[in-house]
Amino acid sequence: MALIVQKYGGTSVGDVDRIKNVARRVKETRDAGNQVIVVVSARSGVTNDLIARARALNPMPDEREMDMLLTVGEQETIALTAMALHALDVPAVSRTGAQAGILTDPEHTRARITSISGGDVKAQLDAGKVVILAGFQGQSADGQITTLGRGGSDLSAIAIAAALKADLCQICTDVDGVYTADPRLVPNATKLDEISYEEMLELASSGSKVMQNRAVEFAQKFNVIFEVRSSFNNNPGTIVKEEAASMEDVVVSGVALDKNQAKIVASDLPDRPGTAAKLFKALADANISVDMIVQNIGRDGKANMTFTVPREDIYRAEKVVTESFPDEASGKLFEANDIAKVSVVGVGMRSHSGVAAKLFDALAVASINIQLVSTSEIKISVGIDPKDAEEATRVVHTAFGLGQ
C-alpha cells in the first residue's frame, strides 16, 4: 500500500463544486489501494480578502493576530473537504498544522518548520481514514499558531511527505505541469515531463511561478520527488527531482518572462572603491532584492550604476539611493523605468557553449534591444523594453527549438 500526499491549491477548492471534485479524486486514489493525505489551501481569494480586512482595521496589524486570522481560510477548507468525503462514504478526518505536529520557529507570518512529529496522522491512515491537513500553518514551541509565508500550503505538502516518507507527492493545481514557456504567451509551448529542482527555482525566480519557492528548496534539501499536475484532468504532470545526467542533453528547458521589474540608474556616483558595497549593502538592509547589475566605466571620477529591482520596490529603492549618497544628490542621481526580464534556463548550459550567442542573435534578428544582461550557471537573463516582452519570449522559445 502506497502513501500518497495530494495538495490542492486555492482554485482547486475554490467553491463547493470544486471541493466535490477534489473529494472524488481523493476517493479514486484511495479506492486504488492507497493511503492518502490531502493538503489544502484556503479557497482562492480568501487569504487576500482576510488581509484586506485586517488592513482596513489597522494598517500595521499585529503579526500574531494576523496568523490567527489567516489560518481560518485553510480551516474552512479542511472541514468542508472532510464533509465532502463523508458524503461519498469515505472515512476522513481533518487536522490542523498543530494537530499534525508541525512545529515552527516563532516568526509569525513567515515561520520556518523546525520539526514534524506527524501527530496521530499515521495512526488515522492506518485506521483506514483519509487525513485532510490544513496547509500553510504550524505551531511554535510555545503553542502559538504560525503561518509559513504566502503560498505555504505547498511547503506543508512537501514537508509532510518528507516527514512521513510518502511514496508520492502530487501538487495538484490549475495548470497541467511546468511548461517550456507560459502557454498564454507562447501557444506552442510544451509541457515538460521532468525538470530539476534548480531549474524549477530559476524559472520561478524569473517569473514562471507555479509553486512556492521555499517548498521547492525544501524538496531539494530532503530529496522529495514530486509531481506538478492538474486538479481538473488526469494528464501526467511534470516530475520535479534531482538533476539526472540525461537532463543535460537539453540545453534550455524553458523561457521565463518577468514583467514586474524596474531598472534603476544611479548616475554620477563617486568612482572609487566602496561605492558599490555601500549602495548594495543599503539596498540589502532595506530587504530589496537586486537582480541584474551593470556598472559603466567611470569618467571624471564619476560612474553610473544600473540595476533592477522588483517594481513594487522602486520607491523604497529611490529612498535608499538618495539617502546613501546625500552629497552627490542631484536631479540625475536616480532614474527608474519599467523593464521586462526574459530568461532562458537549463542545466545543460553547464556543459554546452553558445547559449548567450544564440539568445542575443534571436533578439537581434527581431530588432529587440538588450539593456542589461545577467547570468548564472544555468540561466541567462536579458532586460528589455516591456513593449517587446512577448515577442522576445516567442522568438527565444523558437530559437531554442522548444516549440512543438
The residues binding ligand ASP (CB under 6 A) are: 10, 41-42, 47, 73, 135-136, 150-154
Q: Which is nearer to ligand ASP, 96 or 306 (CB)?
A: 96
> Binds 71, which of Mg ion, ligand ASP, none (CB < 5 to 8 A, cut-off by type)?
none
**Widest Cα–Cα separation across the chain:** 79
Min separation Cβ 80 and Mg ion, Å:
17
Q: How far is CA 114 from the centre of its chain?
A: 21
Near Mg ion by CB under 5 A: residue from 9, 14, 97, 152: 9
Residue with CB nearest ligand ASP?
153
Phi-psi region of 300 (alpha: psi -120 to 50; beta: other; left: phi over 0): left
Side by side, the strands of the sheet bearing 194-196 are 92-95, 130-134, 35-40, 3-8, 168-173, 226-230, 238-241, 194-196
Min separation Cβ 44 and Mg ion, Å:
8
> Binds 150, which of ligand ASP, Mg ion, none (CB < 5 to 8 A, cut-off by type)?
ligand ASP
Grid cell listed for 172: 495538484
Give the Cα separation of 51 and 63 in Å (integer): 11
- Contact range with Mg ion by CB under 5 A, out of 2-10, 224-232, 242-250, 298-306: 2-10
> Binds 198, which of Mg ion, ligand ASP, none (CB < 5 to 8 A, cut-off by type)?
none
Give the Cα separation of 149 and 155 in Å (integer): 9
> Binds 152, which of ligand ASP, Mg ion, none (CB < 5 to 8 A, cut-off by type)?
ligand ASP
14 touches Mg ion by CB under 5 A:
no
180 touches Mg ion by CB under 5 A:
no
Grid cell listed for 283: 539596498
Min separation Cβ 135 and ligand ASP, Å:
5
Interstrand relation of 130-134 and 168-173 (parallel, antiparallel or unpaired): unpaired
Min separation Cβ 170 and ligand ASP, Å:
15
138 touches Mg ion by CB under 5 A:
no
Quick check: helix, strand or coil at residue 374?
strand
CB < 8 Å & 24+ apart, contacts of 241-244: 241/194, 241/196, 241/197, 242/196, 242/197, 243/196, 243/197, 243/198, 243/347, 244/194, 244/196
Min separation Cβ 172 and ligand ASP, Å:
12
Min separation Cβ 265 and Mg ion, Å:
36
Min separation Cβ 226 and ligand ASP, Å:
15
Q: Which residues pair with 226 in a beta bridge?
A: 169, 240
- Contact range with Mg ion by CB under 5 A, out of 38-46, 55-63, 231-239, 256-264: 38-46
Where do we find the cell 493525505?
37
Q: Which is nearer to ligand ASP, 23 or 134 (CB)?
A: 134
Give residues in contact with Mg ion (CB under 5 A): 9-10, 41, 151
